[in-house]
Amino acid sequence: MAYQSIQLDQELFVSDIYTIHYYEYRNDFHFDGERHDFWEFQCVDKGAAEVITDNGTYTLTRSQVIFHRPNEFHTLKANGRTAPNIIVISFACNSPCMKFFENKILEFSDTERSILGRIIAEARNCFASPLDNPYLEKMIKKSTVPFGSQKLLTLYLEELLIHMIRRYTIAHYSASAGIYDSCQTSSETCRNIIHYLGEHVRQSLTIEDISKDNMIGRSQLQKLFREEYQCGVIEFFSRMKIDFAKQLIRENDMNFTQISDFLGYSSIHYFSRQFKKLSGMTPTEYATSIKALSERPQSQS
């Protein structure tokens, strides 16, 4: 049997980077404004700034970001009270999913701020041009650029954009598949119930709720799940919740209390007990183990 490749879709592709700047403005800074045929976003790292666009006037504070679609007029000025630090990145991306960013003011999560930090650090590796010149229209590459730096810039930027779209799109927050993939059972009834549990993973369900909503007797429901998954339906649902909680911990966009509330637990203490019972470690231990793994130095070949 001959191997066959799989063509992967590129839902988001950054073709060009125009500018990457980190400015430390004076408190009286004012930029008159411009239009250009590529995307740009402005993010406040410290202080506050006022942005004027075709759609109105906005005040941005720390970690807030505004995206300007191609040919959208935009200007920027300090509020006169504080000297803000602003990150401005402009780039070309014709992917349809960029429509998500139009007419929105968003806020970077800690994870996204970390990705943004990597972008700035890599830009310093790539460009001889200063990153703090707000009027620079063409960046000059260094004569010697570290291997992979230019590729990492686009990859980090694509990662940042994808991460934001996924985080702000509620459809992303659904139970992960894993052993809970409904396609792994031959029972249509079981597939329907697993889909139902995934749709209600943020709620607190009882056996009676599941039985009634799926028009199946309680004893038949329990028998079905014990035959298919060697556990009762409530234990299955609990494991689905904890599996989803692990995903949220890895993404690092919510703290444990927020995850507990998001998944419908009555308290952070009950969530922690369930997590410990079903995963063998506390949420803190799990998060620490993931962090330790991700930060472990790579072995040199």
Tens-place pLDDT, residues 60-77: 998 899 999 999 999 998
Q: Which domains does the chain have, with CATH numbers?
A: 12-167 (2.60.120.280), 186-291 (1.10.10.60)
Determine how many CB atoms are found less than 10 A away from the CB of residue 61.
14
Nearest-angstrom CA–CA distance, 204 and 193: 15
**242 token code pair:** 């904890």
DSSP 98: G
pLDDT value of position 291: 60
Q: Which helix (H) or strand (E) segment is 86 a member of? A: strand 85-92
Nearest-angstrom CA–CA distance, 216 and 194: 13
Read off the pLDDT of residues 85-136 as tens digits, 9 standing for 90 and up.
Answer: 999 999 999 999 999 999 889 999 888 888 999 999 999 999 999 888 878 8
Nearest-angstrom CA–CA distance, 119 and 203: 38
pLDDT value of position 301: 37
3-state secondary structure of 96: helix
pLDDT value of position 186: 64
Q: State the alpha helices, DSSP H only, in the chain.
A: 110-126, 149-168, 188-199, 207-213, 218-229, 233-251, 256-262, 268-279, 283-295
Q: For residues 51, 53, 57 and 61, what is the CA-based torsion angle, rounded to 10 degrees?
A: -30
